[in-house]
Amino acid sequence: MPFIVAFLFAYIAWLALTAGSKGLLWSTEELVAGLIFAATIGYATRDIVGEDSTRFLNPVKWLLGIVYAPVLFWGMVKANFDVAYRVITGRIRPGIVRVPVDLENDAQYTIMSNSITLTPGTLTIDACPDEKALYVHWINIPEGLESPGSSEPVAGPFEKWARRLGR
Amino acid sequence: MGLIVRTIARTTIPLIGIFGAYIVSHGHLTPGGGFQGGATIAGAGILFLIAFGLGEMKKHYSKSLYSALEGIGGLAFLGVAMLGIGTAFFYNTLWHSGPVLNGKPGTLLSAGFLPIMNLAVGLKVFTGLVSALAAIALWRRWKE
């Protein structure tokens, strides 16, 4: 039922947009109008969100996402300081590396690639699911890691998280 | 486009759609209105066209449906403008003595015929822009 996924997603976005129409809550007319508009959007986009999107209705996944947020934020803080260090000192060794990953579906590839791109110093250029690899531009390739055997030196714990979140 | 763009488009198209609907339906309360919200929703359609390509767009886009919806948008605008024709064209009779849409100013169901007009303009702009971009994308070749 991809309609339900698109509908719920749109309705939650509507509630976030119209919060505060009655004190801190929602007035009845906003709630009803939101139902109508979210149902329209959900019906129109039910083919776009895709048949297998229903797995994201699982509340365990939302909890995992909340737990993942500080992990990603801490990775971003560390990597930003690392890039600031490289800007000041100029010690860079840039290049594009092929990172083999063990992921199965589109959502996992997307979470993984976006996490890599959000942590400065690494930038995903292409995701190739058919050869199970990402191409990543790396600002400072350590000696001997020109073709890494796993994603651990490039992305830290992100592959494990992406596999868990997008399953 | 690539896999990442397509996956992100799957999640953002409903989000852009509901945000555009919010802009259209709150045109009498917040900045925005029919044209702005309609152009926002048309942005979702164009994102679909670019992310998934012309082949998918051909499957989901129906020329007669979009053409009809654009006409309905224009007719709805004209229809509510004619409601108060007993007094004057564009006379906001829904606000002065109408059964609906005459709530307290600042609430959603206020301002007379303005929300209906915003919805009509939003529908017209959305279908018109998407149709125009689909027609441009369907243009056969660069040169003869």
* Burial of residue A77, with CB atoms counted within 10 A of its CB: 0-12 exposed, 13-18 middle, 19 or more buried: exposed
Side-by-side strand order, sheet with A95-100: A95-100, A133-138, A122-128
- Residue B128: its pLDDT value, please? 93
A37 touches chain B (CB under 8 A): yes
Distance, CA of B128 to CA of B66 (rounded, Å): 8
Residues of B with CB under 8 A from a CB of A: 2-4, 6-11, 13-15, 17-19, 21-22, 25-26, 48, 60, 103, 107-109
Q: Give the residue extent of every domain in chain A.
A: 1-55, 58-166
Q: What are the start-end ranges of the E strands in A5-121?
A: 95-100
> Tens digit of pLDDT for each residue in B38-68?
999 999 999 999 998 888 888 888 889 999 9
Pick from A26-35, B22-31, B95-104: least confident: B95-104
Among B10, B13, B18, pick the best mutation site for testing chain A contact (most A Cβ within 10 A): B18
Segment B95-111, tens digit of pLDDT:
877 787 777 787 788 88
Q: What is the mean pLDDT of chain A?
A: 85
Amino acid B144: pLDDT:
63
Measured between beta carbons, which residues in chain B are less than 8 angstroms from residue A134? none
What is the predicted pLDDT for the residue at B130? Answer: 92
Q: Are strands A95-100 and A133-138 parallel, antiparallel or unpaired?
A: antiparallel
Q: Yes or no: say if B89 and B81 are a contact pair by the CB < 8 Å rule.
A: yes
The model's pTM is 0.85
List chain B residues with CB under 8 Å of A125. Answer: none
d(CA B71, CA B65): 10
Rg, C-alpha atoms of chain A: 20
